[in-house]
A = this chain, B = another copy of it.
């Protein structure tokens, strides 16, 4: 199965682009699970062959039926299996024997019901694998392709009508959620091209679905839903491909709360990675993580228009001051730039209408409703002179008026005619057909102003993310030895990490008090002394650290003291000596760490030291490895970032060196994904600009040694 699992998802063609489909358990009743897909396939004019399989009937829904899979005139590209769970194995075997390339198992009653179901489900995978078949489900709602009319699904939302094809695709672990999304997107007028629900994911999963969709030129927006990710390498490849191909991915990842995560555990076998890591992955790969379903659809709606504003300059056009202010508040919260009109342009607008407020929000008062020519000039002036990337116009129920809607639309069209790369977003409350008539002219329509701003901000962020060059895998030094089973002292860790490009203070390992004094003289006063032994990971516990020693006598006595303490506390320990280090205090304390996420593997954490980490949890994560641009984004992301810019008379910190350190840690972590389980650089002192970032302490935790017979 591995080749299929890690392949380029090409084999998902069978689920999206089949030329023939068989239905095991085909029913004459178009309301039943085995009847509904047949009805949809017929009604939508699917061009391929449709083979109902039913041993009790000659015809099903007017189509010739086959008594068994063996009787089919050809090997079908895909089979839909709609029989009780106990019969699925037999059905799958028969399909495999007949040469079917893929199966969609609608039937429930597998892993979601308990341990017996897990076993049964694994058997399905074995059967399919034996025949080289790909498997979707079980316990899923199937897939569809609205363009070809292939409806391999029994989703009830298709009862009334089939979606119009368009640039949007949906991939969802949950069938119910996927259907809900398709319904809402359809209501919003979005064309849905592809739909895939993965259910229990015994073979095909959301990650692979994403990978397939990310490679399709006709897809521009992907709506995704998952409770957990099982194959992170495919998932990350899919997200990278989507970004490279400039496809917006808008993700609902549930299980954020501890409560939510528990609900997942009792619902599916999916492994929910730590939520902060998912947040990091989404940021890293330019995925918009939707907090609500309404937001998910709103952002998709904005992206489907296909215009990504170049910058975040927003103009607000209103006929009533209060609404304009509210919009300006929301825009500022969302990080948009509600910059004023140039003074001269303001004067021009004022000359047109003395009561107007021409700054931004531009309030043309109700006068603009009686003089639509004035409205056009106002809007055109905003686009031309204000150079806004997008304008939000607040119109309320005006466009609902039968006499007003046509002239208003014409006035808006006239305004934007010369600006094909700008967006005109309107807040409008009107019946759907009127909204559609505005959308056809290229306007984005939202009922709620706040939703409009949220979607617009997301659109701009996603567009900017496309332009960030895909991270080059940073240049990797020699990975060095496998560290499994090795206990590493602070000195060992510093040697390894020093080779990996991480800066440490000038330190020296003294084996006796006299050499400690000699090193201290070289390093400069005052110094710190630390015991070095791989057998003593927690040095302070045995009194193995002395700080701020400022004289030769103090160093001599101190070195002797901690060597004695170590021998007394751990008589069997192998003691390498005493580390002599300078006492560095200038700079901002930060923390860099590596944790091994159960889903995504080595993840680099960055934060400010002290209370920022301990009280405020002000940290951010990235999956390793990453490049310097990404490291800089991490650094800017933390709430305490201003500390690094210099506050209270402190100089600005060497952020450049800090970013280099983060990249080096990420490369090291990626190279040692299997043998290093954790890493702490605490603190990393970021000194003034040009003076670098040095780690004062280093700890590497390693995986256990492989048992005999393992590599």
The answer to whether B292 touches A450 (Cβ under 8 A) is yes
Q: What 0/1 readout, one digit per residue, does chain A (596-619) give for beta carbons within 8 Å of chain B?
A: 000000000000000110111000
The answer to whether B611 touches A257 (Cβ under 8 A) is no
Of A320-328, A507-515, A573-581, A686-694, the stretch lying at the interface with chain B is: A320-328
State A348–B450 Cα separation when bound (angstroms): 45
Q: What 0/1 readout, one digit per residue, does chain A (246-257) give for beta carbons within 8 Å of chain B?
A: 000000101111
A183/B397 contact (C-beta < 8 A), A257-B328, A615-B643 known:
yes
The answer to whether A267 touches B177 (Cβ under 8 A) is no
Q: What 0/1 readout, one digit per residue, does chain A (630-654) give for beta carbons within 8 Å of chain B?
A: 0000000001101100011000000
Of A144-152, A356-364, A666-674, the stretch lying at the interface with chain B is: A356-364
Q: Which of A259, A326, A612 has the most CB of B within 10 A?
A: A259
Q: What 0/1 readout, one digit per residue, does chain A (121-158) give for beta carbons within 8 Å of chain B?
A: 00000000000000000000000000000000000010
A330/B113 contact (C-beta < 8 A), A263-B357, A357-B266 known:
no
The answer to whether B263 touches A449 (Cβ under 8 A) is no
In the complex formed, the residue of B with least CB distance to A261 is B325
A413 touches B (CB below 8 Å): no
A225 touches B (CB below 8 Å): yes
State A634–B535 Cα separation when bound (angstroms): 48
A647/B256 contact (C-beta < 8 A), A264-B325, A322-B174, A325-B267 known:
no
Query: Hey, which chain B residues are within 8 Å of A397, CB to CB?
Result: 157, 183
Partner of A325, one of B180, B183, B255: B255
State A177–B359 Cα separation when bound (angstroms): 21
A355/B113 contact (C-beta < 8 A), A322-B254, A323-B176 known:
yes
Query: Hey, which chain B residues are within 8 Å of A113, CB to CB?
Result: 354-355
The answer to whether A332 touches B643 (Cβ under 8 A) is no
Q: Closest CB of chain B to A628's CB: distance in Å?
A: 25
State A113–B324 Cα separation when bound (angstroms): 17
Query: Hey, which chain B residues are within 8 Å of A329, CB to CB?
Result: 254-257, 259-260
State A698–B174 Cα separation when bound (angstroms): 61
The answer to whether A363 touches B267 (Cβ under 8 A) is yes
State A258–B333 Cα separation when bound (angstroms): 10
The answer to whether B260 touches A332 (Cβ under 8 A) is yes
In the complex formed, the residue of B with least CB distance to A176 is B320
The answer to whether B648 touches A321 (Cβ under 8 A) is no
Known contacts A292-B451, A611-B612, A611-B643; 5 additional CB pairs below 8 A are A227-B322, A254-B322, A257-B329, A294-B448, A616-B640
Q: Closest CB of chain B to A638's CB: distance in Å?
A: 11
The answer to whether A256 touches B396 (Cβ under 8 A) is no
The answer to whether A611 touches B263 (Cβ under 8 A) is no
Q: Closest CB of chain B to A357's CB: distance in Å?
A: 5
The answer to whether A266 touches B333 (Cβ under 8 A) is no
| Chain A interfacial positions (CB closer than 8 Å to B) | 112-113, 157, 173-174, 176-177, 180, 183, 225, 227, 252, 254-260, 262-264, 266-268, 291-294, 319-326, 328-333, 338, 340, 354-355, 357, 359-361, 363, 396-397, 429, 448-451, 611-612, 614-616, 639-640, 642-643, 647-648
State A321–B200 Cα separation when bound (angstroms): 12
Query: Hey, which chain B residues are within 8 Å of A359, CB to CB?
Result: 262-263, 266
Q: Closest CB of chain B to A517's CB: distance in Å?
A: 30
The answer to whether A357 touches B325 (Cβ under 8 A) is no
Closest 8 CB pairs of A and B: A257-B332, A174-B322, A267-B321, A292-B450, A176-B320, A260-B329, A260-B328, A259-B338
In the complex formed, the residue of B with least CB distance to A292 is B450
The answer to whether A176 touches B396 (Cβ under 8 A) is yes
State A357–B451 Cα separation when bound (angstroms): 34
State A295–B162 Cα separation when bound (angstroms): 33
Query: Hey, which chain B residues are within 8 Å of A338, CB to CB?
Result: 257, 259
In the complex formed, the residue of B with least CB distance to A401 is B156
Q: Enumerate 12 A-B pairs (CB-CB under 8 Å) in ascending A order.
A: A173-B322, A174-B322, A257-B328, A259-B328, A263-B325, A263-B360, A264-B325, A293-B449, A611-B611, A611-B640, A614-B648, A615-B642
Query: Hey, which chain B residues are within 8 Å of A225, CB to CB?
Result: 322
State A174–B333 Cα separation when bound (angstroms): 22
The answer to whether B252 touches A326 (Cβ under 8 A) is yes
The answer to whether B616 touches A639 (Cβ under 8 A) is yes
Q: Which of A157, A176, A294 has the most CB of B within 10 A?
A: A176
Query: Hey, which chain B residues are within 8 Å of A177, CB to CB?
Result: 320, 322-323, 326
Query: Hey, which chain B residues are within 8 Å of A647, CB to CB?
Result: 611, 614-615
In the complex formed, the residue of B with least CB distance to A612 is B611
Query: Hey, which chain B residues are within 8 Å of A266, CB to CB?
Result: 321, 357, 359, 363
State A322–B643 Cα separation when bound (angstroms): 41
The answer to whether A176 touches B322 (Cβ under 8 A) is yes
Q: Closest CB of chain B to A65's CB: distance in Å?
A: 27
The answer to whether B357 touches A267 (Cβ under 8 A) is yes
